[in-house]
Amino acid sequence: MSLLRVAYLALAVWGAVHPLALRLPWLQQNGFDLTAMIAAWQANGAVAGLFWDLTITAIALTLWILAEVAMRRNWLALLAIPATFLIGVGCGLPLYLFLRTRPV
């Protein structure tokens, strides 16, 4: 495996572990209360701006993944879409790059 692929995989793992480690205490305290989570995402302008920036980025990444999968038939790369929306862009993008650069 190339050094670049190892770096992508390491970033995908970090992008999964670090955000989840920050989110889990909140979830333990509040439960999976979607209303409270959305309120937290809109708490102030800085947080709301970051939320929308990441949402737009996740949508753009999803479109890119779908377009490339349609061309390259790299079906495994579709795993990056649920990773993006369930974990975050910090996991989904490097995971996609890792899957995209595998020998076909």
Q: pLDDT per position in the chain (104 positions), as tens?
A: 899 999 999 999 999 999 999 989 988 998 888 888 888 888 899 999 999 999 999 999 999 999 999 999 999 999 999 999 999 999 999 999 999 998 86
DSSP letter string, 18-54:
HHHHHHHHHHHHH-S-HHHHHHHHTSSHHHHHHHHHH
pTM for this entry: 0.88
In angstroms, the CA 67 to CA 73 distance is 10
Closest CA to 64 of 80, 49, 76: 80
Tokens for 13? Answer: 């793992």
The SS3 call for residue 88 is coil
